[in-house]
C-alpha cells in the first residue's frame, strides 16, 4: 500500500456493517461509520412490530464471513437478526469505528475529497464515501384526510409504539404488504377485533417456519457436513423464487399453483373473492407467510375493501359510509423506496447534486457508483437485486467490489473512481429493456415500479450481479487517468 485511504460510511445497518467489516478484514482500518440512530441494525433496529421476521432463510441472510450457527428458526425473528448484527459489530471490531447519533446531512466533493456535514458543522473529510443508508428506510405515511384527528394511538409499522397496549383492543391495520401480513398473523389471536384495510389483495405463498435448534435437528446439525448440506437445501428452495421472477418456467407455475391452492383454503367464497388478486403471482413482492388465511378467517378479523374516505376521532370512515371504530391504528403502508441516501444532500463534481442526477429516477453505474460523483459508492444502490432475494449476499458482492477500487487507490493506480456517463447509460438502458420482460411488468403497481411504471429492480438472476461486479471495467471509468 502506498497511501492510506480515509473512508466515511453512512449507515450502520446490514450493508454498512458489511462494507465496514470487509474493509477491516482487508486491513483498511481508517474508516468511520456514521449512524444517525443510537445503535446499529438499520431495518432490524427500526422494525420491531409484532411478528417481524425475515422471510428469507436465516442461513442465507447472514454474512458468509460471520455465520451464526444458533438461529432458532428457519426464518429467524427480527430481534434475533438485530442481535446478530449487534454481535457482528462487536466480533468484527467495528464498534470503535461507530459514530452514533450523527446524522450526515450533506456530503460535498471538493478538491478531490468528500466533506461531510452534520447540519452546519463539518465533521469529516474523507477520500471515499460509501452510502449505506438502506432502501426501505423512510416510512411512507398515507395521505389520508384526518389522520391527525384520530383519538387513539396511531403509528407506522417501522415506528412501533410498544407503550400502547394491544391485548383485548380494537385495532385497525392499513396495508397488506409483507409487513401487514406479519402483523396480521401475529396480532389476530391477541386483539379483541382486527380490521384489515386492504386496498390490493396479495398472493400468499404458504411457508413453514420450523425451529431449527430443536432435537433432532440440533443433533443432525452437529454431523460433519450437515451445515453445508442444510444451506444447499435452503438455497435450492430459495432458487425457485429467484427463477420464478426471472423466467417463465416450471418454478413460476409451481409458485402459481401453490398460492392458488393456499387461497382455496379460504372457505367462504365471498371472503375468498375479496382476497383474490387480479395480477400474476410474483408481479408484486410475494408474501411468504404462515397462517395468513387462517388469520383472515378468524371471527375477530374483518377485511375491509371499501375505500378509506377519512380518519375521524373514533376510527376510519369508508366510502360506503360506515365508521369503523378502534382504539389503535397501525399504518403498515410501506416506505419511500426511491429515496436511498436522500434527504442527505450529496453534491458531486461541478456542484451537481444527486437529486439533479436522479431527476428521471435513481440510475447508477452497475448499482454501486455514480457518474460525476468520484470515489462515491453505494451499498444497495439503484437496481440492486432486491425483491425475494437475500440482501446479505448482494451486500457482500458490492462490498468486495468497492474494496477492489479502494485497493487500486491505495496502490496509487487511480485517484478518482468516476464512471463514465455513457457506461452507466448503457447499463441502465439494457436493464430497463430487460425489465420489460420480467413478471414485474405483467400489469401491477407496487414499490417495485418507478414513476413511469417500469420495474426498478434487477431483472436478471442475482448471479449475474456477482459476475458483473467480479471485475473492474477500468475503461468504463474516467479515472483511467490512472498513474501506476
Q: Which window, 317-325, 329-337, 353-361, 475-483, contacts ligand N01 (CB under 6 A)?
A: 329-337
Residues 247-286 that bind ligand N01 (CB under 6 A): 285
Q: At closest approach, how far in Å is the CB of 256 from ligand N01? A: 19
Is 144 or 416 the residue whose CB approaches ligand N01 more closely? 144
Residues 337-396 that bind ligand N01 (CB under 6 A): none
Is 28 or 241 the residue whose CB approaches ligand N01 more closely? 241
42 binds ligand N01 (CB under 6 A): no
Q: At closest approach, how far in Å is the CB of 143 from ligand N01? A: 6
Q: At closest approach, how far in Å is the CB of 31 from ligand N01? A: 28
Is 284 or 366 the residue whose CB approaches ligand N01 more closely? 284
Residue from the set 84, 114, 377, 447 that interacts with ligand N01 by CB under 6 A: 447
Q: At closest approach, how far in Å is the CB of 456 from ligand N01? A: 13
Q: At closest approach, how far in Å is the CB of 281 from ligand N01? A: 14
Phi and psi at 40, nearest 5°, equal -75, 175
Is 129 or 283 the residue whose CB approaches ligand N01 more closely? 283
Is 335 or 373 the residue whose CB approaches ligand N01 more closely? 335
289 binds ligand N01 (CB under 6 A): no
Q: At closest approach, how far in Å is the CB of 188 from ligand N01? A: 16
Residues 148-207 that bind ligand N01 (CB under 6 A): 174-180, 182, 197, 199-200
Cβ atoms within 10 A of the Cβ of 58, count?
24
Residue with cell 473529510: 125
Residue from the set 37, 144, 240, 345 that interacts with ligand N01 by CB under 6 A: 144
Q: At closest approach, how far in Å is the CB of 390 from ligand N01? A: 9
Between the alpha carbon of residue 462 and those of residues 221, 388, 391, 393, 468, the distances in Å are 28, 11, 10, 9, 10
136 binds ligand N01 (CB under 6 A): yes
- Is beta strand 106-110 parallel, antiparallel or unpaired with respect to 113-118? antiparallel
Residue from the set 20, 332, 394, 399 that interacts with ligand N01 by CB under 6 A: 332
Q: At closest approach, how far in Å is the CB of 254 from ligand N01? A: 21
Q: Is 307 exposed, middle or buried (0-12, 13-18, 19+ CB in 10 A)?
A: exposed
Residue from the set 22, 333, 344, 384 that interacts with ligand N01 by CB under 6 A: 333
Is 136 or 364 the residue whose CB approaches ligand N01 more closely? 136
- How many residues lie near ligand N01 (CB under 6 A)? 25
217/71 Cα distance (integer angstroms): 12
Is 71 or 335 the residue whose CB approaches ligand N01 more closely? 335
37/55 Cα distance (integer angstroms): 25
Residue from the set 83, 142, 152, 227 that interacts with ligand N01 by CB under 6 A: 142
Is 178 or 251 the residue whose CB approaches ligand N01 more closely? 178
Q: At closest approach, how far in Å is the CB of 169 from ligand N01? A: 21
Is 54 or 328 the residue whose CB approaches ligand N01 more closely? 54
Q: At closest approach, how far in Å is the CB of 201 from ligand N01? A: 9
Nearest residue (beta carbon) to ligand N01:
177
The contact set with ligand N01 (CB under 6 A) reads 53-56, 136, 142, 144, 174-180, 182, 197, 199-200, 285, 308, 332-335, 447
Amino acid at each position: 500500500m502506498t497511501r492510506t485511504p480515509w473512508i466515511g460510511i453512512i449507515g450502520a445497518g446490514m450493508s454498512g456493517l458489511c462494507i465496514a467489516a470487509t474493509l477491516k478484514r482487508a486491513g483498511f482500518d481508517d474508516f468511520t461509520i456514521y449512524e444517525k440512530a443510537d445503535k446499529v441494525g438499520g431495518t432490524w433496529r427500526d422494525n420491531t412490530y409484532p411478528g417481524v421476521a425475515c422471510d428469507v432463510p436465516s442461513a442465507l441472510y447472514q454474512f458468509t464471513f460471520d455465520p451464526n450457527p444458533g438461529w432458532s428458526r428457519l426464518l429467524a425473528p427480527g430481534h434475533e437478526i438485530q442481535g446478530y448484527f449487534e454481535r457482528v459489530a462487536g466480533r468484527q471490531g467495528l464498534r470503535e469505528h461507530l459514530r452514533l447519533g450523527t446524522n450526515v446531512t450533506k456530503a460535498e466533493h471538493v478538491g478531490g475529497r468528500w466533506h461531510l456535514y452534520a447540519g452546519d458543522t463539518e465533521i469529516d473529510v474523507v477520500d471515499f464515501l460509501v452510502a449505506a443508508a438502506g432502501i426501505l428506510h423512510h416510512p411512507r405515511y398515507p395521505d389520508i384526510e384526518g389522520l391527525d384527528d384520530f383519538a387513539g394511538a396511531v403509528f407506522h409499522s417501522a415506528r412501533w409504539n410498544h407503550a400502547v397496549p394491544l391485548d383485548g383492543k380494537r385495532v385497525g391495520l392499513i396495508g397488506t404488504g409483507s409487513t401487514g401480513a406479519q402483523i396480521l398473523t401475529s396480532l389476530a389471536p391477541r386483539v379483541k377485533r382486527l380490521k384489515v384495510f386492504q386496498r390490493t389483495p396479495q398472493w400468499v405463498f404458504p411457508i413453514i417456519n420450523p425451529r431449527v435448534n430443536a432435537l433432532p435437528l440440533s443433533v443432525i446439525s452437529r454431523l460433519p457436513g450437515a451445515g453445508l448440506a442444510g444451506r444447499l437445501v435452503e438455497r435450492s428452495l430459495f432458487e425457485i423464487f429467484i427463477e420464478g421472477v426471472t423466467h417463465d418456467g416450471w418454478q413460476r407455475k409451481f409458485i402459481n399453483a401453490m398460492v392458488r391452492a393456499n387461497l382455496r383454503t379460504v372457505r367462504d367464497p365471498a371472503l375468498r373473492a375479496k382476497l383474490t388478486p387480479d395480477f400474476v403471482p410474483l408481479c408484486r413482492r410475494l408474501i411468504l407467510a404462515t397462517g395468513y388465511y387462517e388469520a383472515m378467517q378468524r371471527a375477530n378479523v374483518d377485511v375491509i375493501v371499501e375505500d378509506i374516505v377519512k380518519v375521524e376521532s373514533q376510527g376510519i370512515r369508508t366510502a360506503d359510509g360506515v365508521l369503523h371504530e378502534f382504539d389503535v391504528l397501525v399504518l403498515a403502508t410501506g416506505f419511500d423506496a426511491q429515496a436511498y441516501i436522500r434527504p442527505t444532500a450529496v453534491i458531486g463534481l461541478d456542484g451537481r447534486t444527486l437529486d439533479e442526477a436522479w431527476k428521471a429516477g435513481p440510475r447508477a453505474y452497475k448499482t454501486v457508483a455514480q457518474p460525476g460523483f468520484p470515489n462515491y459508492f453505494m451499498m444497495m444502490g439503484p437496481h440492486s437485486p432486491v425483491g425475494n432475494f437475500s440482501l446479505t449476499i448482494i451486500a457482500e458482492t458490492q462490498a468486495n467490489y468497492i474494496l477492489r477500487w479502494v485497493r487500486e487507490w491505495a496502490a496509487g493506480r487511480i485517484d478518482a473512481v468516476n464512471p463514465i456517463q455513457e457506461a452507466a447509460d448503457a447499463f441502465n438502458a439494457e436493464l430497463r429493456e430487460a425489465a420489460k420482460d420480467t413478471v414485474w411488468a405483467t400489469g401491477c403497481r407496487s414499490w417495485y415500479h418507478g414513476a413511469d411504471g417500469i420495474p426498478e429492480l434487477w431483472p436478471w438472476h442475482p448471479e449475474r450481479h456477482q459476475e458483473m461486479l467480479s471485475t473492474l471495467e477500468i475503461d468504463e471509468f474516467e479515472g483511467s487517468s490512472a498513474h501506476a
